[in-house]
Structure 1
Amino acid sequence: MASKVAFKGLEDWLLATPNTLNRFPVSPSANVLVVAAISFLFFSFFVIPYLLSPLRPIPGPFLARYTNLYRLYHTTRGSFHLHIAQLHKKYGPVVLIGPNTVDIDHPDLVKVVFGASTKQKAEWKKTEFYQSSSTRDKETGEIMYNLFSQIDPELHAKWKRPVAKYYSAAAVAKVERKMDEVVHLFCRELEKRICGEKGKGGMDLGNWIVYYTWDVIGNVTFSQPLGYLQEGRDFDSTVSTAEKTLDYFAFITAIPWLDYVFDKNRIMRIGPPSFNPIVGLSVGHIMKRFQADQSKEQKDRSVDYLDMFLEAKQEWPDVVDDAMIIRYTLSNMIAGADTTSSVIKTAIYYSLKADGRWEKLREELEKAGVTREMCPVSYKNARSVPYLEGLVRESMRILPGIALGLERYVPAGGFKLPSEHYLPEGTAVAMNPYVLCRNRGVWGEDVEEFKPERWLRFEGETETKYQDRLQAMNNADLTFGAGSRMCLGKHLGLMQIYKGLATLALLYDIELVDKGMEWKVTNSFFVRQEGLEVRMKKRA
């Protein structure tokens, strides 16, 4: 019925616009042929595929059934997480968001879709959603995929194997000293620029947190902060360029082949701003390391990730070459700063929104024996404080670093959902961390409330019941992905978060300039926030 109405409307419009058609010296029969041709194309590309689609029984928006332009439009608005949450409220746990894409809110299927289940017979492979977060080499024209954007499971495993050991909790502990150096720098610059009288009118602490995470990644990767804290600004536009590039990544995920029109165009690249400045930065540091006296330099500093990557090159010469080292450093730079800063900002914002929560964090730290004299707080000590654990986990729940649907293809044999909907092989299945973290079956009716205590054992709750509840929450948490493609830098990111929050809470009194004012959240490829306007002073 809908297709008949659409066709009739198209026919009426074409026949009723003589200024469009009659400007050409053609006969009335030619007009009919034009209408017929357009109608044929319309039916061929939109109506017939929909009528033949096995996904027809799945509910969803009308336009999403015919074209991915629907999803592209809502993604570009920067609030897709809110939109998809509303769609699930309207249509239920299974929603058709594109002609071949289904978004599901079934936390119990995370292990199946993302390959964390040992009973799984076939792998659900990544879709082209991820490939846009890569670069094309100007000289060779080769697309440089990284560990995140490489969708071939065999290649990904081959690339990951030489460096996986460097991201274990024990290996990350080796670079904690470099992180401490940046925490010291962070505090020094805060006190110099925005603490006390200097910042009594309010300053955007969010910008400084972004500078902190970028400088940390620079120091742990190259033994050199990138300079944003010291300069107090995005002096080389790398941060702003990264934001614009991520905006593009978000936009292009809805129709991935457009990436070959805009960014990967071999004839003339149209846009967007690329990560080439970060690639250039990585190449510069690698060349500098090659030229340096390694034996002398190593004595003057502790190990960093570039050392580890060069070691991997020695151990795995058939896999790791100079280009692969650039891929590894690029993965560190892209994924290690923005998502981490997002979590820290969320934790501070919601702590300051509620009276006494920031002070409670400090009290819980001190109660656990973690005091200001121990700053920068060690990762081990920070992780020993249950309330800080709850605060961090709740921050990642209420606003995950990635709030677009993470996609996988249904493997051979198809798959039947708990709703009895059948998904044939090749259907793209998306699971959105933001939606999963609001599933009332897992989190309860207070899902919209920021509540760190939900991660702790409730009064009167048995240990068995608490562990079962905690396991259900962990199973529904896609903050770092799941299965074999889980974020390699998880421990590195968490170390930045825990150390930064614990140190800030112990050293500074912080308050929002306007507690009633809401900040702005933009759902780009990663979530970013603006408007963390605070006043802060160093504790006496």
Structure 2
Amino acid sequence: MHLWLQVVGVVLTFRLALSIYHHLTSTLRHVPGPFWARFSRLWYFHRVWRGHFEQDNVSLHNKYHSAVVQVAPNWYSCTGPEALKEIYAPGSKFTKSDWYDGWKHPDPDQWTLFPDKNMKRHGETKKRFAAMYSLSSLVSYEPFVERCVTLFANRLSEFSESKNGIDMGYWLQCYAFDVIGCITYGERFGFLDAGEDIENAINAVGSIPEYSTLAGIYPEWHPLLYKITSRLGGSGSGGRNFVRQFAQTRIAKHKQQKVDLELSQEPFMTKMIRAHREDPEKVTDYHMFMMAQSNVIAGFDTTAISLSAIIYFLMKNPRVMQKLRCEIDAAVQNGSLGGGRDNAVTFQQSQSLPYLQVVLKEALRMHPATGLPLWRVVPKGGFDLDGLHFPAGTVVGANSWVTHYDPEVFENPNEFMPERWLDQDEDKVKAMNEMYMPFGLGSRTCIGRHISTLEMAKLIPVLVRDFDFSFATADQDWETENYWFVKPKNFRVHVSRRNTNVYEEKRM
């Protein structure tokens, strides 16, 4: 045992000495950052493990007044329009870093769209399925979303009769999970019926980000950690195995059913089955499994977080809530909003509400769902930024929280001000749009962003139109936790039905 401790001590000493040597000989040794971040990934690991790195990241750039900050040996957080254009522009040769390995199965033959580092394969796959996620496909998905909006509104009506507060963040997870089930398979999972975590699915999917985020910082340990933790209940790798099995079971069930391939309103899996039957080599069984699994993992938390943020900032800013409500009430009165089945709001109707659009945009600026840098590897030849030359192999990345809170681009960035997007200064709005990245940027922009937009656009007008919300606790600032997704914790609110005389008058 004593000998083993000596060996470990020698190895750690050697690695520390090597890190010091690399730092002292690096052309980037003058880049500002925490002292220990220059020699070990432990500083970054510890800060991410604490669960608030989006705040740490913003503070680092503000503290050092620098567009580039070091967070680990050879890892640099960047911000500014030049960095974003260079790193994430369409056609960029900056590949995803090894950090994304923590999000994939250790088997090299198994891959999914989000963590895939193979740029050619990713491009081919995204092109193959892009039409299923396009704006034009929203028409076929809208009835599925509508079912869940109606059921969610019914649940809130029931809660309004009780004086007990509800965890709004959790119920929005139920909504998002049921929507993605409807869109993917044509049937809800059933979370909205009683708010129960059916088959432990919410907990299983929720356990993935913490494991993947931390394992990605030390990706060389991921295969061993995955093997060990996959046998543990509640672990991230165990959660990933759960989602894999869940997707396989659902696909098998869906394939056994008689599917009408002529339906105009069809779920994602029906589209996949049609494509598979037309060309089994182009759309394989693995493609169906991989995309269905990705839908659940990527399409559940992000949308629930964004919806929570919208409600939270509206509650915190009564002026904005009132202004949005006036826009919605006016649309109801003139007949341009609602009026369909269950007085639902169509996606097209929501697009005619300009203030609603900027409220959604501003909420996602202030609280983007992801809260870590989007790590990329500098390609051959390196690149220059802020007077620095980054050699090939350097890991660089921008965090949407840092770009969205840049005071040089967003005036009073800590203020929830949707009107900033209606500014008449086109150059100012253009500069903000260039730094706006709630769904990522470039070729790796989230493929499901239009589906998330559809869910928000249909639900928020109904909630604002039909309900009042108030905080259920004296402290009106929520608590969040960041393991890639910046999730609210115990977002408790009181719900009450609004006085809807204005709608009754309209219907009469």
Tell whether the structures are fold-level matches, with TM greater than 0.5.
Answer: yes
Q: 1:289 maps to what in 2?
A: 254
Offset of 1:314 from its aligned partner? 3.2
Mark the runs of 5 or more structure 2 residues left unpaired by the alignment. Answer: 500-508
1:431 matched to 2:405? The reply is: no
Q: 2:46 aligns with which of 54, 73, 78?
A: 73
Letter in 2 for 1:126: K
Q: 2:240 aligns with which of 266, 272, 275?
A: 275
Q: 1:56 aligns with which of 5, 11, 29?
A: 29
Q: 1:441 maps to what in 2?
A: 408
Q: Deviations over 1:121-156 (max 9, x none)?
A: x611111122222235xxxx5652211011100111
Aligned ranges 1:21-420 → 2 under 5 Å: 41=14, 44-91=17-64, 92-116=66-90, 123-135=93-105, 144-192=110-158, 194-196=159-161, 198=162, 200-263=163-226, 272=236, 273-295=238-260, 302-368=265-331, 369=334, 370-371=336-337, 373-374=339-340, 375-417=343-385, 419-420=386-387
Offset of 1:285 from its aligned partner? 2.0
Offset of 1:382 from its aligned partner? 1.0
Letter in 2 for 1:278: V
Q: Matched residues in 1 for 2:483 and 2:7: separation?
A: 41
Q: Matched residues in 1 for 2:415 and 2:82: separation?
A: 23
Q: Deviations over 1:339-371 (max 9, x none)?
A: 111111111111111234323222112334444
Letter in 1 for 2:435: A
Give the TM-score, by structure 1 length.
Answer: 0.85
Q: Deviations over 1:88-129 (max 9, x none)?
A: 11222210111111111213331221123xxx7x61111112
Q: Is the 8 A contact 1:513 1:535 kept in 2?
A: yes
Structure 1's 405 and 328: CA in aligned 2 closer, same or farther, altered over 3 A? same
SS at match of 1:251: helix
Structure 1's 51 and 195: CA in aligned 2 closer, same or farther, altered over 3 A? same
Structure 1's 36 and 355: CA in aligned 2 closer, same or farther, altered over 3 A? closer
Q: Matched residues in 1 for 2:314 and 2:230: separation?
A: 50
Q: Is the 8 A contact 1:372 1:506 kept in 2?
A: no
Q: Matched residues in 2 for 1:56 and 1:311: separation?
A: 55
Q: Is the 8 A contact 1:195 1:536 kept in 2?
A: yes
Q: Is the 8 A contact 2:178 2:191 kept in 1?
A: yes
Q: Matched residues in 1 for 2:10 and 2:316: separation?
A: 59
Q: 2:469 aligns with which of 510, 514, 519?
A: 510
SS at match of 2:312: helix
Offset of 1:218 from its aligned partner? 0.2
Q: Matched residues in 2 for 1:34 and 1:436: separation?
A: 44
Offset of 1:300 from its aligned partner? 8.5
SS at match of 2:189: coil
Offset of 1:226 from its aligned partner? 0.9
1:520 matched to 2:479? The reply is: yes
Q: Is the 8 A contact 2:204 2:243 kept in 1?
A: no
SS at match of 2:356: helix
Q: Which moved more, 1:225-234 or 1:265-274?
A: 265-274
Q: Matched residues in 2 for 1:232 and 1:215: separation?
A: 11
Q: Matched residues in 2 for 1:130 and 1:69: separation?
A: 18
The CA RMSD measured in Å over matched residues stands at 2.6
Letter in 2 for 1:258: W
Structure 1's 306 and 54: CA in aligned 2 closer, same or farther, altered over 3 A? same
SS at match of 2:321: helix
Q: Matched residues in 2 for 1:195 and 1:43: separation?
A: 59
Q: 1:533 aligns with which of 492, 503, 506?
A: 492
Offset of 1:395 from its aligned partner? 0.9
Offset of 1:318 from its aligned partner? 2.5
Offset of 1:410 from its aligned partner? 1.0
Calculate percent identity across the aligned residue pairs: 28
Mark the runs of 5 or more structure 1 residues left unpaired by the alignment. Answer: 1-19, 25-32
Structure 1's 535 and 266: CA in aligned 2 closer, same or farther, altered over 3 A? closer
Structure 1's 39 and 497: CA in aligned 2 closer, same or farther, altered over 3 A? closer
Q: Matched residues in 1 for 2:165 and 2:200: separation?
A: 24
Q: Matched residues in 2 for 1:154 and 1:38: separation?
A: 38
Structure 1's 492 and 36: CA in aligned 2 closer, same or farther, altered over 3 A? closer
